[in-house]
Structure 1
Amino acid sequence: MQSKFSNIRNDYKRLSLRRDNLEGLPLLQLKKWLEEAVETEHTEPTAMTLATVDATGQPSQRVVLLKDISDKGLTFFTNYLSKKGQHIDFSPKASVNFFWAMLERQVRLDGVVKKISAKESDAYFASRPRESQIGAWASPQSEMVQDSAYLNKMYREFEEKFSGMEIPRPARWGGYVLVPHRIEFWQGRPGRMHDRFVYQAAKGGEWDIFRLAP
């Protein structure tokens, strides 16, 4: 029996990717593609799927928002006690994936996740909307709760607690940076003959670049 989903497919024809179009450094290439995704008004262009693994070897994924790209890597923020935070404590190895359907592109990055400094986390937390700051205090992220009324109660309590004052960053909340050692750029092409290029970290801070079969 054929599924109603089995015939859903698109033939990607919009763009191509050539070796001589690539930047020498992978994070510069990623920044270039991100800027193009923003320019095309792609929905949530900085959204990336983060994959981590727990102590049993079970992978888990969720979408997080990229907040910075630097020479170090990709920065995102979360609750350190959340499920993803616990996974990272167990194993710092992680992977992220961007997919921009409007541009028929995706990027996959494999690397190691590290906490950023408390100073950097403080600076970003201070830039967040006040409602989001209160939410970081009110939500025991990833824990079981009885109902939404409990969460609303917690939010109101912290809203009252911090009334008329600056809200400090909770110690359990902050940033991570994914330091990649492998980055793949994928551009959809007709007939499923997609363009795929991989940057692989080499000695001395250099990167090897090679093409993969689709």
Structure 2
Amino acid sequence: MSLNLADIRLEYSKKELSPDDCLPDAVAQFEVWLNEAIAAQVAEPTAMNIASVDPDGRPSSRIVLLKGVEDGQLLFYTNYHSRKGQALEANPYVALNFFWPELERQVRVEGKAVPVAPEVSDAYFASRPYTSRLGAWASEQSREISSKAVLVTRAAMFGARHPIHVPRPPHWGGYEVAPDRVEFWQGRPSRLHDRVAYVLQPDGSWRRARLAP
């Protein structure tokens, strides 16, 4: 049985978007849309697809949760030894994608990801639930394991080692992405979607313009 994907179509018509509607600062505009997504109770409003390129030039992507927007930068946390961590060490440039279908919106962010200061990672790690902190020690992210029992055993081992206070593993921490290009997409009827792109200028200001869909 084959699937007829060609007939799957939706008409988008909830809102419009023009450069005049947008704030001068791209990250400030992103925060407006993010807050609207949270207020609308969309599913996983902070979920973002992160695309990176490994040392061999092969792209890969995965879903990660945004954990902060501070000083014009987007923050997320991960295992530095993971596949994404190794890719970012070789090539720090990433592309982020947020998709909020309930609002017929998408945001694309491009920029450079650099590790945050250790004290920033320490503070966020301390705020995580106890079991999540143990999980950061137990999971050797992206490595092959023989069974799930390996994870359970390692979690129990680190739980016995850290029954109360769980320090941050040295291989786990945050990245901050400094955007240099941000695009806002609003779905519109007949596939004549609204697209507004921001490009960071040498003086730190943002140039914004409408793009053809």
TM superposition score category, shorter chain reference: over 0.9
Q: Which residue of 2 is the match for residue 12 of structure 1? A: 12
C-alpha distance 170-2 of structure 1, shift in aligned 2 (>3 A): closer
Corresponding residue number in structure 1 for 2:172: 173
- Contact 1:112 / 1:178 at 8 angstroms: preserved in 2? yes
Partner of 2:147 in structure 1? 147
Amino acid corresponding to residue 196 of structure 1 in structure 2: R
Whether the aligned pair in 1 keeps the contact of 2:50 and 2:96 (CA below 8 Å) is yes
How many residues matched? 213
Query: Partner residue of 2:75?
Result: 75
Cα contact 2:27–2:72 (8 A) shared by 1: no
- Whether the 8 Å contact between 2:200 and 2:206 is mirrored in structure 1 is yes
Percent identity of equivalent pairs: 45
Aligned to 1:29: 29
CA distance in 2, matches of 1:19, 1:112: 25
Q: Which runs of 4+ in 1 moved over 6 A?
A: none
Offset of residue 139 of structure 1: 0.4
TM-score (norm 2): 0.98
Q: What secondary structure does 1:123 align onto?
A: helix
What is the CA RMSD across the aligned residues, in angstroms? Answer: 1.2
**In 2, are the aligned partners of 1:88 and 1:113 still within 8 Å (CA)?**
yes
User: Tell me, which stretches of 5 or more residues in structure 2 are unaligned?
Assistant: none
Aligned to 2:118: 118
1:203 Cα deviation after fit = 1.8
Distance 2:209 2:134 in 1: 46
Alignment of 1:48-87 (within 5 A): 48-87=48-87
**Runs of 5+ consecutive residues of structure 1 not aligned to the other structure:** none
Instruction: For residue 144 of structure 1, give the secondary structure of its aligned residue in structure 2.
Output: coil
Q: Can you list the C-alpha shifts for 1:58-115, whole angstroms capped at 9, x where unaligned?
A: 1000000000112241000000000000000010011000000000000001111100
Number of the residue aligned with 2:194: 195
Query: Secondary structure of the residue that 1:167 maps to in structure 2?
Result: coil
Residue 186 (structure 1) aligns with: 185
SS in 1 for 2:5: coil
SS at match of 2:7: coil
Deviations 1:20-73 (A, max 9, x none): 210110011100000000111101000000000011111000000000112241
Alpha-carbon separation, structure 2, partners of 1:28 and 1:71: 10
- Structure 1 counterpart of 2:130: 130
Determine the C-alpha separation between the residues in 2 that align with 1:155 and 1:5: 43
Q: Is the 8 A contact 1:72 1:177 kept in 2?
A: no
CA distance in 2, matches of 1:71, 1:16: 28
Equivalent pair of 2:46/2:66 in contact (CA under 8 Å):
yes
TM-score (norm 1): 0.97
Paired with 1:114 and 1:212, the residues of 2 have a C-alpha distance of 29
- Which residue pairs with 1:206 in the alignment? 205
